């Protein structure tokens, strides 16, 4: 399909592959790569679906933001439609800022708004599956001035200037792990024979209420690195399937794990002794 024909007949909801077998996502990939990951917990979460992915306060805020912006999140049935209220039942300052940023998002895509960015949202929460891999794109858009198709990721963060952790959006984005976007772009190209442009939108709910938008140009080197990571993950999974899923207890891994495990991490006992001096 030629580029012009693709733009004119853009309908990414057609011909999506359907399968009940295991698909590796970028979230599962990163979880498997962590030094602290317990392989048996990973198996139960991603492969056998014995336990659910644990949520936390930051994740719930992100889901709430996506629900307002896009009408829902990546996983059906896991939408967050409100956040915990104060003792008096009122919204927290952070919730108010998140809602204001969601309104800002909608303004950026509204042709009648002075801050319109020139994009039309064509689809939200687009699931992509190819081979043994999958991912869900936050939203697709069309650039009205050129007809280009954009694949977009939407992020909410407490402070878009933060560099206090390796994941802080205040870092140079070339130093961040953006394998998610490389993964999505390649899946899309495989399915629709079209390489979309890639956009990353970061909104924070600090008092400044910053918005950052960047185009991510995916190089062949980035694709090669992504391929190595995914293929290595599949090899590791096959080795565990063959040799057994090792249990590696730790406080971090075990505190929220719902598996009945004989080697669950426990606080070390108090060491007691008597001495004469």
Asked whether residue 166 is assigned to any structural domain, the reply reads yes
Residue 276 lies in a domain: no
Start-end of H helices in 74-164: 93-108
Tell me what the pLDDT averaged over the chain comes to.
89
Domain-located, residue 142: yes
Q: Copy the structure tokens of residue 112.
A: 């009648």
pLDDT at 265: 78
Pick the range with the lowest mean pLDDT from 8-22, 24-38, 125-139. Answer: 8-22
Residue 74 lies in a domain: yes
Least confident of 147-151, 158-162, 241-245, 253-257: 253-257
Distances (CA, A) of 220 to 50, 182, 228, 230, 273: 37, 10, 12, 15, 62
Which is it for strands 197-204 and 211-215: parallel, antiparallel or unpaired?
antiparallel
Q: Do residues 143 and 118 lie in contact, with contact meaning Cβ atoms separated by under 8 Å?
A: yes
3-state secondary structure of 191: helix
| pLDDT for residue 4 is more than 60 | no
Is residue 259 situated within a structural domain?
no
**Predicted confidence band at 108 (pLDDT cuts at 50, 70, 90)?**
very high
Q: What is the pTM of this model?
A: 0.85
The domain spanning residue 137 has which CATH number? 3.90.320
Which of the two residues, 84 and 77, has the higher pLDDT score? Answer: 84
Task: Inform me whether the pLDDT recorded for 67 exceeds 70.
Answer: yes
125, two tokens: 């929460």
**What's the mean pLDDT in 215-233?**
97
- What is the domain extent for residue 161? 3-24+53-219
**Is 118 inside any structural domain?**
yes
pLDDT at 15 over 80: no
Q: Per the domain annotation, does 231 fall within a domain?
A: no
Confidence of residue 124 (pLDDT cuts 50, 70, 90): very high
Q: How many domains does the chain have?
A: 1
Residue 232 lies in a domain: no
Query: Is the Cβ–Cβ distance between 93 and 195 less than 8 Å?
Result: no
Helix (H) or strand (E) holding 25: none
Q: What integer pLDDT is reported at residue 77 of this predicted model?
A: 72
């Amino acid at each position: 399909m030629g580029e012009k024909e693709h733009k004119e007949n853009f309908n990414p909801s057609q011909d999506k592959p359907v399968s009940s077998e295991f698909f590796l996502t970028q979230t599962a990939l990163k979880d498997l790569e962590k030094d602290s990951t317990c392989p048996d917990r990973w198996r139960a979460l991603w492969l056998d679906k014995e336990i659910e992915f644990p949520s936390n306060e930051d994740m719930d805020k992100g889901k709430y933001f996506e629900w307002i912006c896009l009408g829902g999140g990546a996983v059906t049935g896991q939408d967050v439609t409100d956040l915990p209220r104060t003792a008096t039942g009122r919204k927290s300052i952070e919730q108010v800022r998140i809602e204001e940023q969601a309104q800002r998002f909608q303004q950026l895509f509204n042709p009648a708004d002075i801050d319109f960015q020139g994009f039309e949202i064509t689809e939200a929460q687009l699931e992509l599956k190819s081979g043994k891999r999958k991912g869900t794109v936050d939203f697709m858009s069309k650039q009205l001035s050129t007809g280009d198709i954009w694949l977009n990721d939407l992020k909410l963060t407490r402070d878009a200037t933060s560099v206090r952790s390796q994941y802080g959006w205040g870092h140079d984005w070339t130093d961040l792990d953006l394998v998610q976007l490389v993964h999505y772009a390649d899946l899309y190209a495989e399915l629709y024979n079209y390489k979309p442009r890639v956009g990353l939108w970061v909104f924070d709910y600090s008092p400044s209420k910053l918005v950052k938008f960047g185009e991510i140009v995916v190089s062949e080197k980035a694709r090669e690195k992504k391929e190595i990571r995914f293929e290595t993950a599949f090899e590791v999974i096959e080795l565990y399937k063959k040799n057994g899923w090792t249990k590696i207890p730790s406080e971090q891994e075990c505190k929220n794990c719902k598996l009945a495990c004989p080697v669950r991490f426990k606080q070390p006992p108090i060491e007691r002794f008597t001495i004469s001096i």
